[in-house]
Structure 1
Amino acid sequence: MTSRTYPHGVPCWLDLETPAVDAAVAFYGALFGWRFTEKLPPGVPARYVVASLDGTDATAVAAFATPDPAVPAEGPPAWNTYLAVDDAEASARRVIELGGQVVTPPEQVGPPGAAAGTMVRFRDPQGAPGRLWQAGTRLGAQVVNAPGTWNFSDLVTPDPDGALAFYGALLGWEVDPQIAIGMARVPGYGDHLAATTDPDIHDRQDGVAPPGFADAVAGIGTTDGPARWSVVFAVVDRDVSAQAARDAGGTVTSTEENEWVRTASVRDPLGAELVLSQFAPQHTG
């Protein structure tokens, strides 16, 4: 089985930092049917729990972690989007050059000699928190877009033009309103998928998705509030999953429909926000 890899600039991993890891496991296990594996040995005060579809890293989808006590918490728990980079050190320097903030410098995480990767916590110039990730043994999410897995991360910001200038220079993002319905793209990403884990992507999207959608890596939205990442998970049926979220102790804050998807915005019992998305295209032209 070919492992899923992520070129420079592509969102690659998710985690939720919370002191209530067991509560997170209970909610998301009930919502998505995930299975969980503790990655730190017993007796260590920290927790790092990887969620997967079958209990193995081959189907890893996300993780839950206790917060780093050296990093002050800001607000309730929130899902973190990790962005793949080829060189964490060079990318951290570039964040600063482009007007962003490096919250924690590049640090290897995971066991010595087999590091999961090198992580950088940062904030973009509009204040959105994010993570840079130079992969080691943890390549990133291995199952995506399937029901119960990560579908997309959308950057919501009061200054889309400023954000695009930053991420374009840092990660190579491009936006063309006539291609991929204005979403940020990493040119060549679709070809990378076709050559690795998704050989049918171009044929499957032909006539269904907008031109260039195979290269799309993130949505860009506008908000009057603080800049942040909105994390979207795929589901089979929006209404069934929304009710499952309620039954597990979450709150459905809104529902929406457009020509492509039916969505529900959810706040989990920990305060973290997420979006459930059912792909339901109204046309194929």
Structure 2
Amino acid sequence: MSVPGKSRPVSVPNIIARKGGAPLVCLTAYTTPVAKLCDAHCDIVLVGDSVGMVLHGLPSTLGVTMEMMVLHGKAARRGVETALLVIDMPFGSYEETPEQAFRNAARLMAETGCAAVKLEGGESMRETIRFLTARGIPVMGHVGLTPQAVNAFGGYKVQGRGEGAERIRRDARAVAEAGAFAVVLEKVTEPLARSITQEIPVPTIGIGASPACDGQVLVVDDMLGMFSDFRPKFVKRYAELGSEADAAIESYAEEVAARRFPGGEHVFVEAAPGASVGGNR
């Protein structure tokens, strides 16, 4: 079933207008086939820097490069027709100066055709977000647990407990005031995420946050159950494709080893003289 009312491309103003309305549906995608599947059901398709861990086997998102984001952004663009395509700016591509951020954000948009970029950070990114949005680059913010700062946090820890709550509240306000059209709240305590959603004027998109957020996002491979050894509390498995794929590959290996595959229906015979031969894919 597709998202109701999504008959034309989703724009940044469409997303802003959904504040307090029907929840925004968002998933990550890094390839054309998966982006096409997500596009049919999502308002936002995010090419996350999580691609480094999900598809490239990196231990964190810190090793992701601009070239990787451009490559996967182009792939996702080929599968997206109506959803808003947003691409993460990788670590080191925007923190130095607003001018550096503009050059790299402009490159992402020009080379991939995405509609917006996402960057991590709160008050420290206020001027950068303001600089980008003033120059026509829509920005999605990201506060709470920001994976690119995992070393500073000392791990992927829940944020917003105790004195940390006020810091995250300030970060969310700063990002919204600077012009971000939406803010991702990651791994933030539920009451705090609920409160921030009520306080800021732009949509919040939760991941491990609150059902009260204006939308939700998950890494598509997580919700499809592609991994058996990684299952955060905030991820709901809607399928177990990893175990199904493992069983299928095992069956294939057994049939090849036993010479049961390929069978007669999978090979081609020599045609009789003058006969028409088709289906030789």
Question: How does the TM-score come out when normalised to structure 1?
Answer: 0.28
Structure ID, larger Rg: 2
The structure with the largest strand share of the pair is: 1
Which is bigger in relative contact order (C-alpha 8 A, separation at least 6)? 1
The structure with the largest helix share of the pair is: 2
